[in-house]
């Protein structure tokens, strides 16, 4: 395992070495953990406060709210949130709650609006969160309207992604959070030029960490996905770069096999087309860069109260129809098919397994478990989470 940024060619060369020797990058030791991680309400409360209430996590791709006046709403672990594109092109985020008597201000998950108008008594708020109008306002007398704007949350757009810290008044500095290697890496991917072709959320009866763990895990592929993913991706072969908080993991696809006898220095440049570069972005995202440079972004958010539930969001980030060079119908067909394949694996293979796992972890006598030395990125995730919670 390395702590510096390796070139894609170098990562491919190392995956070929692993394939030759039947090895994978490993940590120094196994990492024990207990079932309470997935069911203890006190641990869940600490995660909401010390993780999601303190560090940036991804709430959207910028293309989900491209124009001024576009908004989305999401349930973060601590707050109901509105993110709104401002007339100047920036984004702002607010607690999605009316300051009169606490109605949820915007119930749609996305849309366009000039102002937010509360469904209960029709107080209205400008896009920047300031209170615009109180209906029957004489009955409220001389209230200070400047104190009754929507509660603002720290939000930042960077690398085409919208990041949020789920706590009013907290600081946000995404570049600092990513660190120089990962910040530069994401900048190089041009994610801001892609569009979220599909974005969908799933409420699942499984702890968010159980879900996150499954989507950095290259060890389960041939066992849990023998007829789908395992036909395309090797199992238990990963080259991992550990950047302290975040990690990149390079996994060879089966199509690389024809180069296994070739000396890596003689391999053609496009051999990089035979690996998937995964990225674990602490605290709760996996970003997969596929060989054709489209991306899949998976995020996992704790339920606001119940450790046994989470919200997963999946996004397919693809080149625009103009940049793709495809005719619009073909473009749509290609990505629809891609999305259907992703959904099928999720719904038929990962979700049933993880729901059962969460249920099993509720066993009164569930004992300690462990992450193997080969479960490198899982170990990084658990290690960093412990640091944040310490």
List residues near Fe ion by CB under 5 A. Answer: 350
SS3 191: helix
Residues 6+ positions from 367 with CB-CB distance below 8 Å: 35
Of ligand FES, Fe ion, none, which one sits near residue 3, judging by CB under 5 to 8 A according to partner kind?
none
Is residue 103 part of the contact set for ligand FES (CB under 6 A)? yes
What is the smallest separation between the CB atom of 350 and Fe ion, expressed in angstroms? 4
Q: What angle do CA 165, 284, 352 make, to 5 degrees?
A: 135
Which of 140/223 has CB closer to ligand FES?
140
Q: How far apart are CA 59 and CA 326, in angstroms?
A: 29
Stretch that binds ligand FES, among 35-43, 100-108, 333-341, 352-360 (CB under 6 A): 100-108
Which helix H or strand E contains 359, and what residues bound it?
Answer: helix 351-361
132 binds ligand FES (CB under 6 A): no
Q: Is 57 helix (H, G, I), strand (E, B) or coil?
A: strand
Confirm or reject binding of residue 98 to ligand FES (CB under 6 A): yes
Q: Which residue is nearest to Fe ion (CB)?
A: 350
Q: Report, in Å, the least distance between residue 38 CB and Fe ion.
A: 17
Q: Does 118 bind ligand FES (CB under 6 A)?
A: yes
Both tokens of 227, joined, read 């007829």
Closest CA to 278 of 269, 290, 267: 290
- Choose between 60 and 312: whose C-beta lies nearer to Fe ion: 312
Helix segments in 6-102, DSSP class H: 8-21, 41-47
Q: Does 148 bind ligand FES (CB under 6 A)?
A: no
Nearest Cα to Cα of residue 9 among 355, 386, 266, 344: 266
Return the number of the residue (105 or 229) whose C-beta is nearest Fe ion: 229
Q: Smallest distance from the beta carbon of 138 to ligand FES, in angstroms?
A: 15
Beta carbon nearer to ligand FES, 150 or 249: 150
- The contact set with ligand FES (CB under 6 A) reads 98, 100-101, 103, 118, 120-123
């Amino acid at each position: 395992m390395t702590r510096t940024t390796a070139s894609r060619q170098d990562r491919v060369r190392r995956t070929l070495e692993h394939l030759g020797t039947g090895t994978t990058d490993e940590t120094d030791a196994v990492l024990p953990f207990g079932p309470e991680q997935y069911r203890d309400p006190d641990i869940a409360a600490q995660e909401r406060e010390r993780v999601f209430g303190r560090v940036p996590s991804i709430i959207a791709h910028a293309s989900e709210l491209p124009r001024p006046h576009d908004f989305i709403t999401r349930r973060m672990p601590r707050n109901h949130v509105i993110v709104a594109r401002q007339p100047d092109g920036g984004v702002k985020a607010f607690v999605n709650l009316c300051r009169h008597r606490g109605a949820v201000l915007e119930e749609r998950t996305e849309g366009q609006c000039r102002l937010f108008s509360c469904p209960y008594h029709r107080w209205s708020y400008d896009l920047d969160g300031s209170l615009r109008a109180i209906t029957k306002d004489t009955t409220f007398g001389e209230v200070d309207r400047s104190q009754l704007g929507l509660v603002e949350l720290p939000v930042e757009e960077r690398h085409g992604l919208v990041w949020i810290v789920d706590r009013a008044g907290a600081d946000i500095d995404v570049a600092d959070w990513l660190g120089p290697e990962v910040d530069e890496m994401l900048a190089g991917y041009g994610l801001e030029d892609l569009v979220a072709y599909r974005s969908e959320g799933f409420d699942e009866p499984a702890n968010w960490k159980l879900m996150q763990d499954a989507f950095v895990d290259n060890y389960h592929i041939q066992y849990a996905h023998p007829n789908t993913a395992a036909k395309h991706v090797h199992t238990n072969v990963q080259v991992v770069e550990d950047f302290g908080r975040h990690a990149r993991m390079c996994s060879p696809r089966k199509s690389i096999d024809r180069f296994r006898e070739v000396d890596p220095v003689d391999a053609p440049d496009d051999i990089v087309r035979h690996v998937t570069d995964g990225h674990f972005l602490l605290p709760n995202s996996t970003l997969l860069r596929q060989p054709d440079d489209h991306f899949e972004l998976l995020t996992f958010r704790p339920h606001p109260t119940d450790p046994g539930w989470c919200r997963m969001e999946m996004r397919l980030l693809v080149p625009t129809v103009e940049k793709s060079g495809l005719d619009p119908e073909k473009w749509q067909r290609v990505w629809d098919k891609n999305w259907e394949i992703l959904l099928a694996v999720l719904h038929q293979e990962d979700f049933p397994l993880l729901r059962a796992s969460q249920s099993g972890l509720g066993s009164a006598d569930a004992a300690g478990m462990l992450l193997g030395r080969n479960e490198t990125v899982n170990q990084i995730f658990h290690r960093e989470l412990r640091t944040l919670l310490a």
